[in-house]
Structure 1
Amino acid sequence: MSMKVLVTGGSGLVGQAIQHVVKEERGAKEGEEWIFLSSKDADLMKAEETLALFQKHRPTHVIHLAAMVGGLYRNMKYNLDFWRNNVYINDNVLNAAHEVGAIKVVSCLSTCIFPDKTTYPIDETMLHNGPPHESNFGYSYAKRMIDIHNRAYFQEHGRFYTAVIPTNVFGPHDNFCIDDGHVVPGLIHKTYTAKKEGKPLVVWGSGKPRRQFIYSLDLARLFLWVLCDYKEVEPIILSVGEEDEVSIKEAADAVVQAMGFEGAVEYDTSKSDGQFKKTASNAKLCRYRPDFKFTPFKQAMKETCDWFVANYDTARK
């Protein structure tokens, strides 16, 4: 049977990366059909619209990326909205996939769903061991519930619905909003503006928190592997190793270098740092894919910065 893959959130950062891998890197096999959806196609918070969309396309496989997302400060302000909207979206998508007989669904989670008080590195078995960080508990619990949902579909219907847990994703087609985006795209946009205006680059926070970053194209390549070859319901962390974790200051330095910024760099320590670290283990991924080569961080950063400069007028910001 030929695969028909429906990708929700297909116009976002990860969706665009999957499109690139499928079309430009020949990631799709002969006879496969790929459909990339955006928010224009349906309101996934509405059950009837979601089901009608799935009945129209009748996918055999689904990559579920659609979500209400935002940076640290927006999450802190709107935990209720992040909880309710994401619960609706996830329930509607998984139910519609089941109703049309989709064989496999791969949903996208986030490392922020792991317990705040924990030991490091975090691995897949520790997902439900305690409450997530207070700053984004609404989003975190909504995403955690996908794992519960997947396990229940397997128990009751034998469905192999699973999820991946990427660390901090960055790359072309990100949301480069300064006030509400994630750290790397926000830094890129700030650096671009500071360079243009001849002003200092102001980085929010102390620069000390540490993160593992994964390039969106690397994540897309791994998503295709999970869709076709990963046979577990239990989620899998997709990340570079612990040794490739960098501080926010190191990330800012990489942006400064990639953008050719020569001005002053200042740190606004009145702004929250969020979690200091959330180091994740990629041991499970390495057992499955010991051959996988991640794009070097500085190379990926340069490619992302170059894309932003070239597409400044149309980039999300």
Structure 2
Amino acid sequence: MTLRPRAVPDLPKAKVPAESTNLAASSSSWSCPAEAIPILATPPIFRIPAELRLDFYALALLVDDSDLRLLQTCKQINMEARPILYQRPLTLTSQAQFFELVQRSDPVDLLRIHDVTLHLTDISLSSLLDGFAGITAWALYQQELERLDRAFRTISGLRRLVLRPPAVNHSQLLRGMYLSFLGLIPQHHPSLQNLVIEDNKDLLNKVPSLRDLPNVHFTITTDSTPDRKQTCSRSPTVKVEVEENEEDLLADPTLPEDSGLVDRKAKTKKPAKSPKQARWYASLRHKYDQVSQDDGGEEMIERTLPYH
């Protein structure tokens, strides 16, 4: 017996309305007009060479009343014009702000910095209260000076520097850090075109290497000021490393009265010095002689630095 497949009956064809047939025919021949198609045209500023665009950015950003919202126009303008910001004159209110700028900036962008106004400030001595062995105020000022030195090495393209000394300058160590920093400027920026120091002109006698720069200007031309006389006092020079009871040691009647290290009112009769007091007094006398020879001790920090 042979099995044969059953024949499948033909299904009736669905009738397509005449309206749909006419619609399909008309849609195949329909075309969108050219003016209805959106075209992403290139902005006119991007049709000019990139070198000319950089000149336009500089003209727009390197002026006093520039509008930085230009950088928010589009991503490409932001990328192209952002390096121009580093060519603007920078005003830094402290060396801490300067350190932050160096840390968060690309080294290539730091080379674009040409004009800086830096206001030096005193450092924080709060770490002396932490009780770490071996840390002294002297070491803290030396570390700050070394950080300044490293930071200024990163802006080798500097052309103009306006330097403002600390507003309150009654610490001899702060004075030493300030003068030592001035001595580092001719070493790392010999081609500095313009240096403006908002200080007394007699700094040339303290830092002779400033004469090697082509243009050095001082905003104070008098020979001496009341503030400068106070900063040249020797009294705060050695007290930073006192480990004994200052009241007992500094009240020693054998200290010279003209040394500036003893308060005459604090003098009281004390017993003979112990061996520990004698060693401390000998060290104090040696430091006082160094201060006298160095005319106030302004360069005491400089002698401890490895690059001096």
> Is this a same-fold pair by TM over 0.5?
no
Larger Rg: 2
Report the TM-score when normalising by structure 2: 0.30
Q: TM-score, normalised by structure 1?
A: 0.29
Structure number with the bigger relative contact order (C-alpha 8 A, sep ≥ 6) is 1
Select the structure that is richer in strand. Answer: 1
